[in-house]
Amino acid sequence: KPTNAAVFNNWGAKYAVQRASPLVCPNQGLANELSILCRDRELEGLSKNALAYERAIGIIKSYPKVITSDTFKSDLTKLPSLGAKTQTKILEYIDQGHVNEAQATLASERYQSLSLFTSIYGIGPTKARQFYGMGMRTIADLERYYDIPPSPDPERPRPPEVVTEVLKGLDVVSGFTPNGKPIRDEGRASELSVPVGIVLKDELDVRIPRAEVEEMRDVVLHELEELQPGCVSTIVGGYRRGKPMSNDVDIVISHSDYTKGKDIIPGLCKRLTAQLYRKGLVTHIMHLSGFHAHNALREEHWDSLEKALTVFKLPPSENNPVRIHRRVDLIFALPESYWTAVIGWSGSKMFQRDLRLWAKQEKGMKFDSVGLTRRHDSKRFLPKTEEEVFQILGLPWIDPTMRNV
Ligand code: DGT
Ligand code: MG
């Protein structure tokens, strides 16, 4: 279904869900400069300031022409989401092709270290600032702190076989009982996810091309079909928004039978993860619903869907004799939650946030990945398609590839 034409010209609209936001926009350079400042505020824990930048970037991402002094004056100066400070920075960019503060931020030691630390799975801004406060600046500092043997060649990443060797003994889950219960060292899981993230950093930094995302999906679905026939699934996240390369693979899984699905889905997350782990496809389980109660991994809001956040490794093939570790998130939704889960996990984060805000402020409804309800009488909607979710919310259809706000 094509994206509703009106949303392409709706760049001034208050909510990101009313506008088309392509992957690459005509003002991408400006958006990138402002993203540095947004990231800086996030790293410093200034979430309100970060959100203000995110909103400004959102408008710029949906503006369909190159911004010049003239179009800036005629179109952008009156928008409430562009405050005086942001406007000054946009003018700087029009003048010089860069934003002074963004360049200064990029060059600062603090920004560089905090960005580096938060690029490690398991380290969020708060922990990164703690490490910085303790005087740490580099990955080598973190390796010393966690007692991880450094790479044999300091100039190069560890070879895959060395990674595997170092990881032994760092496993978050050490196995499964015959009935699928993970065996793990209570209390050590959240402590271990950071060292695992450090050792795997070089591999997890390698972006995943679309063909490999699909290959991983096929392998997961093959195991799923063996375990539980009749499931349905969608690859969500950046892949679904058309990104040529992804940081991880996100898959939402449900069951095709609306009634039977209610019994089949609960517990399936654990069963599939155990199966993948036993076969050596999942090598690490960073979070598993019901087991890792402590949410050290994400500082943002969690939904209540069953999920496994894993590290995954495809078996070697003829064309790819050496495989590297990849991040895979498996999210399980009851049939009635499937389409809201698909929308929620397709993102972007900003698109999802504004979907919640639009539902609440404009429609008196509550949207999240689990479902759609009317606030005043708690009436629950049961959308049977993705389009229906947009219809119920009174929104024009926006293709996933236009949700890159
Ligand atoms: P990337 O970096 O290439 O993986 O890009 P994305 O957009 O796939 O980013 P990712 O994988 O972190 O998240 C995918 C989408 O899933 C994101 O746009 C919003 C949603 N999401 C991520 N984490 C959570 C969470 O903890 N709770 C909920 N409700 N949604 C989440
Ligand atoms: Mg993703």
358 & 334 share domain: no
Other Cβ atoms within 10 Å of 77 Cβ, number: 12
> Using CA positions, which residue lies closest to atom 18 of ligand 1?
347
d(CA 3, ligand 2 centre) in Å: 22
Instruction: Give kind and range of the element (H or E) at residue 117.
Output: helix 109-118
- Cβ-based burial of 369 (10 A; exposed 0-12, middle 13-18, buried ≥19): buried
Instruction: Give me the pLDDT at residue 300, please.
Output: 45
Question: DSSP assignment of 22-48, as one string?
Answer: -SS-TTHHHHHHHHHHHHHHHHTT-HH
Its pTM stands at: 0.93
d(CA 363, ligand 2 centre) in Å: 29
> Using CA positions, which residue lies closest to atom 9 of ligand 1?
237
**Domain carrying residue 79:** 5-109
d(CA 345, ligand 1 centre) in Å: 6
Instruction: Give me the pLDDT at residue 294, please.
Output: 45
d(CA 174, ligand 2 centre) in Å: 26
**CA-247 nearest atom, ligand 1:** 3
Instruction: Dig out the tokens for 404 from the structure.
Output: 């890159």
For 303-317, what is the mean pLDDT? 93
- Cβ-based burial of 179 (10 A; exposed 0-12, middle 13-18, buried ≥19): exposed
28 & 51 share domain: yes
> Using CA positions, which residue lies closest to atom 5 of ligand 1?
238
Instruction: Dig out the tokens for 348 from the structure.
Output: 């972007």
User: Could you tell me the CATH number of the domain that includes residue 214?
Assistant: 3.30.460.10
Please identify, among 52, 78, 109, the residue that sits at the C-terminal boundary of a domain.
Answer: 109
Is the confidence at residue 356, as pLDDT, over 70?
yes
333 & 345 share domain: no
94 & 75 share domain: yes
Ligand 1 site residues (CB inside 6 A) read 237-238, 243, 246-248, 250, 298, 300-303, 344-345, 347-349, 352, 369
User: Could you tell me the CATH number of the domain that includes residue 40?
Assistant: 1.10.150.110
18 & 88 share domain: yes
Instruction: Give me the pLDDT at residue 289, please.
Output: 79
> Using CA positions, which residue lies closest to atom 12 of ligand 1?
237
Tens digit of each residue's pLDDT (9 = 90 or more) over 217-267: 999 999 999 999 999 999 999 999 999 999 999 999 999 999 999 999 999
Please identify, among 109, 135, 154, the residue that sits at the C-terminal boundary of a domain.
Answer: 109
DSSP classification of residue 265: S
